[in-house]
């Protein structure tokens, strides 16, 4: 998982609480994204960014906010946590200039009770 750091790795939240999942990369990749993974459903895209200052919605954006003020950081905010947001979250980056490899962070396990 070269150069993609996610924090925290584990988190338990109460319904209605807010929190931010952090993602940082040191590879100067333009493209960053957030996925959630639920059993039997593969990874689903939440939000993505093609560069600093630019973000867009993916397949399942409701309940999440993102911002991209720098190339390095792409935080994911849960505004008011719900049990349906219990999932594993992966941040991913891609160097769109030189290849097709996507690098994933180690994942963040979130439980909402």
Partner 1 sequence: GQNIDQPTEMTATEGAIVQINCTYQTSGFNGLFWYQQHAGEAPTFLSYNVLDGLEEKGRFSSFLSRSKGYSYLLLKELQMKDSASYLCAVRDPIKAAGNKLTFGGGTRVLVKP
> Residue numbers of the site for partner 1 (CB under 8 A)?
1, 31, 33, 35, 40-45, 48-50, 56, 58-59, 90, 94, 96, 100-102, 104-107
Q: Give the whole-angstrom CA distance, residue 53 versus residue 103.
A: 21
Residue closer to partner 1 (CB basis): 14 or 39: 39
CB of 13 to partner 1, least distance (A): 20
Q: Is 18 helix (H, G, I), strand (E, B) or coil?
A: coil
Of residues 84, 94, 70, the one with CA closest to residue 22: 70
**Minimum distance of partner 1 from residue 84's CB (angstroms):** 18
Shortest Cβ 109–partner 1 spacing (Å):
9
The answer to whether 69 touches 51, Cβ cutoff 8 Å, is: no
């Amino acid at each position: 998982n070269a150069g993609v750091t996610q924090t925290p790795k584990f988190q338990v939240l109460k319904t209605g609480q807010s929190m931010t999942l952090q993602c940082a990369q040191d590879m100067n990749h333009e493209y960053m994204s957030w996925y959630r993974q639920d059993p039997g459903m593969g990874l689903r895209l939440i939000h993505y960014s093609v560069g600093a200052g630019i973000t867009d919605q993916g397949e399942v954006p409701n309940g999440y906010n993102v911002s991209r003020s720098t190339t390095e950081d792409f935080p994911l905010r849960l505004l008011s946590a719900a049990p349906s947001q219990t999932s594993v979250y992966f941040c991913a980056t891609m160097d769109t200039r030189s290849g097709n490899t996507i690098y994933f962070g180690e994942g963040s396990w979130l439980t909402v009770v």
